[in-house]
Structure 1
Amino acid sequence: MEKNYAYSVLELIGWGKFNAMIFVQCGLSWSTFEIWFVNMGFVIEGTKEEWNLDTFTAGIVGSFMQVGLMLGSLFWGYIGNTYGRVKAFKTTAIIASAASVLLTFAPDPYVVGAGLFAMGFGLAGEISLGGTVFYEYCPPSKRYYMTLMSAFLSFGAITVTTIALLVSLYNTTGYHNWRVIVAIGSVIEIISMFFRFFMHETPAFLITQNKQSAADKILNIVSLKNTGKELSQVDHCSASLNPNELTQEILAHKEDKISTKGALKRLFTKPLLKTTIILGLVYMITHYSFSGFLYFMPEFLSEFSTSTAYAIILIQQLCGIPGVILGTYLVETRLGRRLTTNIFNILSGVAVIVFCFGDSFWFVVIVSGIIFMLVFLALSSMFTLGPESFPTSVRSTGLSLAMVCARFGGILSPIITGYLLEITNGFYISLALFCGAYIVSGFLVLLLEETKGKKIG
């Protein structure tokens, strides 16, 4: 795996205020992504009620968001790899904000589908570029914070679920609950968009484009913010590094500029071929289960009142936070990224099947809470393993391909699950598929290399 000169300098500067600010900005993009991802359950339920759709048709409407996510992953991977991570990252927020307004005032299911497609197209960049930007600004010794950043997913989910619960209890506007929930989400999306405009391009990307001077300027800004000291000459400030190693890094990156076609060719040839395929399968299978379980949770809880069901969903999302915190710790232990993802994906599958065997309030709360803790633990570990599995010059493209696979699983999930819930014993068949998918993805992870402690650029 390659090394990047920018990472050596970031390590010397160390973690500081600049990194904390990037952590929050990128984390907010993950929060807004999860707000809309969880919102899909309320949108599917709401469209069924407003236009008297059956579960299968509502699932098809919901799948438009996943189609947008899949195509957006391809598009933003190309834009991020060619024109810059941050330039693309800013644009995704504008598209998602515009789509949220369209979705709020959609007059029929067709416009809902169009709004969800546009939303997914924008959000595809939010989740993939948010992780890439943070990773490329992070000192190598602090990259386990990628796992902790997954807490923003939980915060987003908790935020929208709390909104949904309050709306279900106090909505007297005359508008359907799902529209009010979406409208509030739209305001949050627009506010988060403005924070994005003050971000700089990552120095690691600039170096792969042979823009050494521009990268040095950004590194100087990082140094001033973190240490209060100016970084006038990177070489001078890097004296504690092995001079030969640093020179090799600089020379190597004079030829690091790579086209999207070249990135794809590299990803599908050894030694990255196996990583690309396995990681894509893991993302696809995992997101099939995660999307279906999340989208149709209101349907799974239909025996409870709306406010009680939303309260249960809120508790489920709250349980994701200890999962993320535990995951942040475990990826730095002997388990590493790979085994943490492996073990907790399998345990997630086992817990999902247990969910079938009871329907009392406390049984559902406890078992589903455990499921969400395990799922978020595995996801947070996987979101660390993913970026670390690709070198800088192909990272944006590699992660975009993984996200395309994830979205393919996400497209299939609402359609298949929506169909199954219309047939006899469909509830049990759906959960059995979720269980099997988690277990298979857990074993597939074992085919990947452990990235903990490796210099990967």
Structure 2
Amino acid sequence: MERNRAYSVLELIGWGKYNFIAFLQCGFVIPKQAWAIFDYWYESMAFIVDGVIEEWDLSTLQAGIIGSFIQIGLLFGSVFWAWVGGKYGRMHAFKTCIIIVSVASILLTVSPNFYVLSVALTILGFGIAGELSLPSTVFYEFCPPSKRFYITLMTLFQGFGAILVSLIAYLVSLFNNTGFHNWRIIVSAGAVVGIISMIFRFFMHETPAFLITQNKQMAADDVLNIISLKNTGKILGKIENSSSLNPNEFTQEEEEETPKQTENIAENVTRLFKPPLLKVTIILSLVYTLVSYSYSGYLYFMPEFLGEFSTSTAYMIILIQQSSGIPGVILGTYLVETRCGRKYTTLIFFILTGLLILIFSFTTSFWFILIASSISYMFIYLAYASMFTIGPESFPTSVRSSGSGVTVLLSRIGGISSPIITGYILELPNGVFLSLLSLCITFCVAGVFVLFLKETRGQKTG
């Protein structure tokens, strides 16, 4: 349980400048990073789908097929980045994925047809899979155990990424008088920001917990000293710096681990599908799959759901919807530390989201649609914040990267199928109502499955 000693040293050092910088790097920095990067591109799919329908005169089903390609990339990326993060290090994966995202975004900007666009979206999805699964693991392993509730707050930066792309889309819809279609300008802006973010990413260190699992104690001690110097202005004493430091009770894991950690993907995946981790893996995979299905369909086709409004009005509504996610994340950060905990916060607000989506389908009133859909986005971000806290906390360190990767991988089943199914349903009579009804049901079922997870608030984890 050597990694617990690294967590004990982090707790001894306390929260400080280094942790705050890691928090920003994993979530958001002067440009945007990690979860903000992921959400920028994920949210941009609504504008890409809307744009290609207009530019290439596609049906919603055809546009949905295009939307599924980014999910295919996410599927394969989930496996790849889990393997790289577990075998070669969190930082090796974390730095490489942003390079891939930057290259793919440039290709996406200049895509001349359906086929090149599909390839670009697949590569982009492959890259942003790392931007989704790695940040929580990286920050978790840099964070003092008593401050891990900040993982929930990191979801706030997904909101910033979503707001940024929505704001750009709204401004472009108002002022674009060039010969370029709106979606290409939105994508090119993301490419520029991704390249800037890549520079900041390369100043990060490997996590002490991972280094110790690889028997690189001296390297782990060096990183812990860097953290201590940054936070306190002092280098750790010999005893405090040693990984032989006895872990306190707060950081000790409930489950006994083997002394030598094998971050081998095949072995770790096998462990995930055996007791005691089997139940957690299956339930989290089901929840992630259902939520991915619901959110992808709701997000990708929001311009279609708002089809009776002008493009600029629809994009303004989407901007307000995404802005509503910020208070949701802040409220979620508070609720996960109350008696509601991670479990019931996730459960309650996914169900409420589903109900609001259904209500949204019953009216054409501008103000009613604006208010109902905005509150639904607030609840989505609130529930996501809680879900992304309970997820990594449910796995021990030795399989955390693999566990996060596998659950996200399996969730891509929902993400791939949702744009195609929702696009098809939209072409049916009364398609808007039927598609929103299906999204309502899947959100509610996801909330029910959370009942079977173990509450992790106050749990002794490593």
Tell whether the 8 Å contact from 1:2 to 1:391 is kept in structure 2 after alignment: no
Query: Which residue matches 1:40?
Result: 45
Could you say which residue in structure 1 is the equivalent of 2:225? 220
The residue type paired with residue 387 of structure 1 is: P
Matched, 1:279 2:279: no
Of 300, 305, 315, which aligns to 1:310?
315
C-alpha distance in 2 between matches for 1:231 and 1:86:
23
CA distance in structure 2 between the aligned counterparts of 1:121 and 1:422, rounded to whole angstroms: 29
Q: Residue 443 of structure 1: CA displacement?
A: 1.0
Partner of residue 339, structure 1: 344
Q: Contact (CA 8 Å) 2:15, 2:144: kept in 1 or not?
A: yes
Task: Tell me the distance in 2 between the aligned counterparts of 1:437 and 1:62.
Answer: 19
Instruction: For structure 1, list consecutive stretches of 5 or more residues without a partner in the other structure.
Output: none
2:165 to 124, 139, 160: 160
Q: Give the match for residue 327 of structure 2.
A: 322
CA distance in 2, matches of 1:2, 1:165: 51
Q: Secondary structure of the residue that 2:203 maps to in structure 1?
A: coil
**3-state SS of paired residue (2:231):** helix
Q: 74, 93, 99: which one pairs with 1:88?
A: 93
Counterpart for residue 436 of structure 1? 441
CA contact 2:2–2:259 (8 Å) conserved in 1: no
Find the counterpart in structure 2 of residue 206 from structure 1.
211
Partner of residue 12, structure 1: 12
| 1:371 alignment counterpart | 376
- Kindly indicate whether the alpha-carbon contact (under 8 Å) linking 1:210 and 1:253 is maintained by their aligned counterparts in 2: no
Partner of 2:21: 21
One-letter amino acid of the structure 1 residue matched with residue 191 of structure 2: S
Which residue identity lines up with residue 7 of structure 1 in the other structure?
Answer: Y
Which residue identity does 1:97 align to in structure 2?
Answer: S
Q: How does 1:124-203 map to 2 (within 5 A)?
A: 124-203=129-208
Amino acid at match of 2:377: F
The residue identity in structure 1 corresponding to 2:174 is L
1:72 and 1:179 mapped to 2: Cα distance? 24
Deviations 1:282-323 (A, max 9, x none): 000011101110110011111000000000000000110110
> 8 Å contact 2:102–2:195 — kept in the other structure?
yes
Query: What SS is found at the alignment partner of 1:271?
Result: coil
* Residue identity matched to 1:266: R
Query: Structure 1 pair 182/247, CA: closer, same or farther in 2 (3 Å)?
Result: closer
Match for 2:455 among 429, 450, 453? 450
Deviates more, 1:256-265 or 1:199-208: 256-265
Pairing 1:92-107 to 2, within 5 Å after superposition? 92-107=97-112
Shift of 1:433: 1.1
Q: Distance in 2 between matches of 1:39 and 1:453?
A: 37
1:277-426 equivalences under 5 Å are: 277-426=282-431
**TM superposition score normalised by structure 1:** 0.96
Structure 2 letter corresponding to 1:398? G
Q: CA–CA distance in 1 between the matches of 2:191 and 2:414?
A: 26
The Cα shift of 1:257 comes to 2.7
Q: Is the 8 A contact 2:9 2:241 kept in 1?
A: no
- Give the drift of 1:436: 0.8
Where has structure 1 moved over 6 Å in runs of 4 or more?
236-240, 242-249
Distance 1:258 1:243, change over 3 A: same
> Which residue is equivalent to 2:58?
53
| 1:105-129 alpha-carbon deviations (Å, 9 max, x no partner) | 0011111111100000000001101
Q: Name the amino acid aligned to 1:447.
A: F
1:266 paired residue number? 271
Matched residue SS, 1:412 = helix
Q: Which amino acid letter does the alignment assign opposite residue 151 of structure 1? A: L
- Relative to structure 1, is the Cα distance of residues 425 and 438 closer, same or farther in structure 2, using a 3 angstrom cutoff? same
Partner of 1:231: 236
Contact 1:231 1:237 in 2 (8 A): no
Q: Distance in 2 between matches of 1:67 and 1:76?
A: 14
- Would the aligned equivalents of 1:342 and 1:446 in 2 still touch at CA under 8 Å? yes
Residues 248 and 125 of structure 1: CA distance in aligned 2, closer, same or farther (over 3 Å): closer
What letter is aligned with 2:281?
T
Q: Name the TM-score, length of structure 2 as normaliser.
A: 0.95
Q: Tell me how far apart the structure 1 counterparts of residues 401 and 3 of structure 2 sit (CA, whole Å).
A: 16
Match for 1:26: what amino acid? C
Distance in 2, matches of 1:335 and 1:244, equals: 24
- CA deviations on 1:8-57 (whole Å, 9 max, x unpaired) are 11111111000110111110211111111110011111111111111100
CA distance in 1, matches of 2:440, 2:408: 21
What secondary structure sits across from 2:179 in the alignment? coil
2:100 and 2:250 map into 1 onto residues whose CA distance is 42
* Aligned with 1:78 (options 77, 83, 89): 83
- Residues 155-191 of structure 1: per-residue CA shift (max 9 Å, x gap): 0000000000000111122101110111111111111
Identity of aligned residues (%): 59
Task: Give the C-alpha shift of residue 242 in structure 1.
Answer: 6.3
Letter in 2 for 1:143: R
Contact 1:216 1:234 (C-alpha < 8 Å) held by counterparts: no
Query: In 2, Cα distance between the equivalents of 1:46 and 1:329?
Result: 38
In the aligned structure 1, how far is the partner of 2:458 from the partner of 2:232?
A: 25
Q: In structure 2, what is the Cα distance between the partners aligned to 1:202 and 1:239?
A: 17
